[in-house]
Structure 1
Amino acid sequence: MDDEDRISIDEGHPDALLLGGDRRVSDQFREPVKPWHIATTPRTISTVICIAIFLWVLSGMVVMVPATRLVEDIFCRRHYGRLDEDPIDEELCKADEIQSSVAWIFGLSMALVTIIGLVVVMPYGVLADRARKPVYLLAATGQFVNVVWSLFILRFWRTVPVELILLGPVFELIGGGITMAIVVLYAIVSDVNAPEDKAITYFFASLAANVAVFVGPPLASKMIAVWSPWAPISLSLAVTTLAGMIVVIIPETAHRPYQSPGTDDDWVEVRDRGWRKAITSRFARVFYNSDLRSVLKKRSILLLLVASTLTAPLTTGTGSLFLQYYSKRFGKSIEDAGYMLAIRGGLTIIVVGALLPLLSKYLTSSSYISLPAFRRDLLLARASAASAGLGYFLLGGPSTAFLTSGIGILALSSGIGPLLRSLTSNLVQSHQTSQIFTIVSIVEGVGSLPIGPFLAWAFSSGMRLGGLWFGLPFFFLGGLGSLALVVLYFVNNEGSVADYHAVTENT
């Protein structure tokens, strides 16, 4: 879904209103506007995309707490030979063998999801260049089937082995699952917004995701306390369905196929040369473009790719692993751990919604300091990496005071991913952005691939060793953040496109 292969819905219509306009631009859509197309302007379509991202993240955050509790309960009953329906004391389920089994299930599932994402991103990306909505609906279907399969296994675990839950990610081969759904949503944002309006839309999308992170875990914990783990799971299934169907209220936004001969449009390649050659061509454009190869020879680009690889796994430390760790080490329930995650979610909203924008503005326009965009983002990226390193080291500390402090400091690292992408984009020309971002996505996937099983091993080993070693998985993540900080200190702004233009304008 290359930016240069898209036609903006406003191209050829300079008077069309963007991001705040109320005028319809239906003549630019790939399909006629239907009565159920409620959102038909850039503003309303962008709003729908933000809502969809909120729903997708909420569905995952709401199901995380009850799924962890149910899997723990299943292994607990198997461990003690309890196959009855009577409740079992959660404290009995904190045995090392049980917790290790739970960690491995989630760790392997995480690795499988990453593998599937790496396999499907190119073929479905080619298809999505032709039409956004069918790919999105297909991806939503794959995610829905994955969730239904997982619920089936958790409900009938006495009949089928709970380990079969690992087959769930395989269903994401249908459309690419949530990974591809999010990719398509951001492609739609790019379709309908002018370049100067995309940043603010991405900001609101990120804010919507962080609100879901803040709301989801405590909502799930409360529903478990009032009803049962199946209540938030049912809510997650409903939210997943809504997230998948919401796209029907917007028109198709992909550009019309080029009609001129010799076009590079992916779909024309599919029609003329077949799927295999079209996908191979996409790989060639990303990895073998001679212009891009020269860019990859830049030391700072390579260092930023290394930093992206190191920081990609950092988000895994505040998922099911954290729920297990907090519950096991400090003798709390899984539901209590859900409330702890809400603290980080709330702090992340403050960081992303207020602190980072204010710092960015201060660093570029203050009378005391005025940094170019690249140096500003590099400074913030280094601070974020340092916060990730220190936050995770504290998270693995011996008391809840260390853990709470770690959560607070860790929230300061929330902007590391977008900052690294911003830095990378500033080192390439605009026509190379989509290719370099594709490479960034792939190296992030490669970096995340082994992290699930490794953290499961680290968690099991930490329980066995005891003492300070209990925080071993978080010490490892803290090490990744610290190593990323070291790498970023060797990055410089040599060849920065943004700084070059700034200097040119000043002279």
Structure 2
Amino acid sequence: IGRKPVFALAMIGMLSAGLFNGIIMSMWKVLPYQLLWVCPLFLFIGGGPAVSSMMFYAVACDITTEANRTNIFLFGYAAGIVGDIISPSIAGGLMAINPWISLILGWFMLALGGSIVAFIPETVHLRLSPSGTLVHAPPAERDTARSRKTNKPSSYVQIVKSQFGDGLNKLHSSITLLNSLPIVLLLVTFLADPFAASTIVVSMRYISKLFNWKLREAAFLLSLRAFIQLILFLVILPLLSKFLIHRLGLSSKRKDLLLAQFSVIMMVLGALLIASGGVIGLTIFGIIVSTLGTGYTSFARSLITTLVDQQHVGRLYAAISIVETLGSLVSGPSINALYSVGLKKGGSWTGLPFYCVAVICSMAAVSVWSFGVLTGQRRRRQEMPLGEEYGDEYADAQTLTGDLVPVEPGHVDEGRIRI
């Protein structure tokens, strides 16, 4: 149905949840506070923040080149960080006057952001031409959608059958994406970021407990982390990307792979330094090192985007959102439970949640390096002359790397999943 309707529905769902929350709080003398538990149900309208962020990345992917795609993702993360830095101070100042001012301002900003969707052109059928201008996708990419519109069923039963069949086809298309080993290798690495993010608050309690800091003193490290992230996303990584492409002559895909590998290694080293930190300086250094790896998801998202055709990017990003959401559901309780176990045992066990994150990020590093090995093998095979003596081996290599050959129109198979 396009990017705009989905994005608009997600914004409507979030705004509805916020307004319902406000209604319950304003009528707390009449309505039971347990009705607040109903608020998350409004996020079923559109899918909430996970879907809205997914649509942002999908739109950015539609209208940018492969070389600039990662930078757009980084700028998106930086915008979120700026909001995280500014909003608590503004909300705190407004709450000192009246708590409702900050809530109303938040709803207004959410509504304003949602209204901007009306002025964004639909990008699902837009593609960048070699000259850099936006053009409509080739007719072949829209044949399936056009045929569904022109062959509308007449009866209610036929409409239900048609919708059910379309739903099954889309589900099959999404599942078919997972037949590609490189996609699966990169997809599972998106579990690492929720676990790393869950340790941010725990690290404040960890430092407070280990070094007898007050929580408000340890919280200053959050500002340090946010400042480093802004410099990293807005300056260091874009300049480094430009250097790797223009000075060293690397392709965009190779550049993203190298930076993804570097970032995930920084996440592993940072978690290990924090976990083993018996000295405050070493712990702070570990936080800095782990922050240098926070650009990983941008590079991994750009890499995995190259594996599918443009018309399947939305489904791929939906799969990424599902993985990230599952990671968020598991990581929070797990990290806090490990921290409680570490506190009970004492000593070096206190760093148990950070050792856990180091293990998970190490598994992500193995997946990224395995992806690099597969793509390297594929590149060498493409450069090798293909004769009859290589036919069977090349067919096996295609099966290993997940290259799908089109079989039926209307499925994901109509486009190729590439390496």
How many correspondences in the alignment?
364
* Amino acid aligned to 1:376: K
Instruction: Give, in angstroms, the shift of residue 400 of structure 1.
Output: 4.7
1:490 is paired with a residue whose SS is helix
**Which shifted more, 486-495 or 192-201?**
192-201
Render the CA deviation track for 1:300-328: whole Å, top value 9, x for unaligned: 4443233233444323333x555665667
Distance, in Å, in 2 between the alignment partners of 1:138 and 1:245 is 11
Task: Please tell me whether the aligned partners of residues 67 and 252 of structure 2 are also in contact (alpha carbons under 8 angstroms).
Answer: no
Instruction: Give, in angstroms, the shift of residue 353 of structure 1.
Output: 1.6
TM-score with structure 2 setting the length: 0.68
The 5 Å alignment of 1:24-173 reads 128-129=1-2, 132-148=3-19, 167-173=38-44
1:278 maps to 166
Does 2:121 correspond to 1:240? no
Change in 2 beyond 3 A, CA 1:197/1:418: closer
Render the CA deviation track for 1:225-266: whole Å, top value 9, x for unaligned: x66877655543443333233334445666599999962469
* Amino acid aligned to 1:236: G
2:368 maps to 488
Instruction: Give, in angstroms, the shift of residue 351 of structure 1.
Output: 1.1
Instruction: Give, in angstroms, the shift of residue 199 of structure 1.
Output: 5.5
Task: Please tell me whether the aligned partners of residues 218 and 342 of structure 1 are also in contact (alpha carbons under 8 angstroms).
Answer: no
Distance, in Å, in 1 between the alignment partners of 2:222 and 2:338 is 21
2:262 maps to 383
Distance, in Å, in 2 between the alignment partners of 1:230 and 1:502 is 63
1:176 is paired with a residue whose SS is coil
Task: Please tell me whether the aligned partners of residues 391 and 409 of structure 1 are also in contact (alpha carbons under 8 angstroms).
Answer: yes
Does 2:291 correspond to 1:411? yes
Distance, in Å, in 2 between the alignment partners of 1:143 and 1:217 is 19
1:39 maps to none
Render the CA deviation track for 1:389-420: whole Å, top value 9, x for unaligned: 22233445456534432331122112111212
**Which shifted more, 392-401 or 168-177?**
392-401
Render the CA deviation track for 1:48-101: whole Å, top value 9, x for unaligned: xxxxxxxxxxxxxxxxxxxxxxxxxxxxxxxxxxxxxxxxxxxxxxxxxxxxxx
Instruction: Give, in angstroms, the shift of residue 375 of structure 1.
Output: 3.9
Distance, in Å, in 1 between the alignment partners of 2:71 and 2:103 is 33
2:186 maps to 304
Render the CA deviation track for 1:443-477: whole Å, top value 9, x for unaligned: 33333332222223223334444444344333322
* Amino acid aligned to 1:422: S
1:48 maps to none
Distance, in Å, in 1 between the alignment partners of 2:14 and 2:108 is 12
Task: Please tell me whether the aligned partners of residues 427 and 496 of structure 1 are also in contact (alpha carbons under 8 angstroms).
Answer: no
Distance, in Å, in 2 between the alignment partners of 1:461 and 1:260 is 54
Choose from 318, 332, 336 the match for 2:214. Answer: 332
Choose from 227, 230, 240 the match for 1:346. Answer: 227
The 5 Å alignment of 1:173-252 reads 173-190=44-61, 201-217=72-88, 219=90, 235-250=105-120
Change in 2 beyond 3 A, CA 1:234/1:361: same
Distance, in Å, in 2 between the alignment partners of 1:331 and 1:270 is 69
Instruction: Give, in angstroms, the shift of residue 426 of structure 1.
Output: 4.2
1:288 is paired with a residue whose SS is helix
Instruction: Give, in angstroms, the shift of residue 172 of structure 1.
Output: 0.6
* Amino acid aligned to 2:227: G
| Identical residues among aligned pairs (%) | 28
* Amino acid aligned to 2:354: F
Task: Please tell me whether the aligned partners of residues 211 and 346 of structure 1 are also in contact (alpha carbons under 8 angstroms).
Answer: no
The 5 Å alignment of 1:257-296 reads 263-264=144-145, 268=149, 272=153, 273-274=159-160, 275-288=163-176, 293=179, 296=180
Change in 2 beyond 3 A, CA 1:133/1:229: same
Task: Please tell me whether the aligned partners of residues 13 and 48 of structure 2 are also in contact (alpha carbons under 8 angstroms).
Answer: yes
Instruction: Give, in angstroms, the shift of residue 133 of structure 1.
Output: 4.1
1:210 is paired with a residue whose SS is helix
Task: Please tell me whether the aligned partners of residues 70 and 299 of structure 2 are also in contact (alpha carbons under 8 angstroms).
Answer: no
2:371 is paired with a residue whose SS is coil
1:9 maps to none
* Amino acid aligned to 2:355: F
Choose from 188, 193, 196 the match for 1:314. Answer: 196
| Contiguous gaps of at least 5 residues in structure 2 | 126-135, 154-158, 385-419
* Amino acid aligned to 2:165: K
Instruction: Give, in angstroms, the shift of residue 277 of structure 1.
Output: 3.0
* Amino acid aligned to 1:245: S
Distance, in Å, in 2 between the alignment partners of 1:182 and 1:261 is 25
Task: Please tell me whether the aligned partners of residues 124 and 311 of structure 2 are also in contact (alpha carbons under 8 angstroms).
Answer: no
Distance, in Å, in 2 between the alignment partners of 1:414 and 1:451 is 17
1:263 is paired with a residue whose SS is helix
Render the CA deviation track for 1:10-45: whole Å, top value 9, x for unaligned: xxxxxxxxxxxxxxxxxxxxxxxxxxxxxxxxxxxx
Change in 2 beyond 3 A, CA 1:323/1:237: farther
Change in 2 beyond 3 A, CA 1:242/1:469: farther
| Contiguous gaps of at least 5 residues in structure 1 | 1-127
Instruction: Give, in angstroms, the shift of residue 146 of structure 1.
Output: 2.9
1:30 maps to none
Instruction: Give, in angstroms, the shift of residue 502 of structure 1.
Output: 11
Render the CA deviation track for 1:309-362: whole Å, top value 9, x for unaligned: 3444323333x555665667655356x565432221211111112222222233
Distance, in Å, in 2 between the alignment partners of 1:139 and 1:279 is 20
1:392 maps to 271
Distance, in Å, in 2 between the alignment partners of 1:348 and 1:477 is 19
**Which shifted more, 484-493 or 259-268?**
259-268
* Amino acid aligned to 1:282: K
Task: Please tell me whether the aligned partners of residues 75 and 233 of structure 2 are also in contact (alpha carbons under 8 angstroms).
Answer: no
Task: Please tell me whether the aligned partners of residues 303 and 487 of structure 1 are also in contact (alpha carbons under 8 angstroms).
Answer: yes
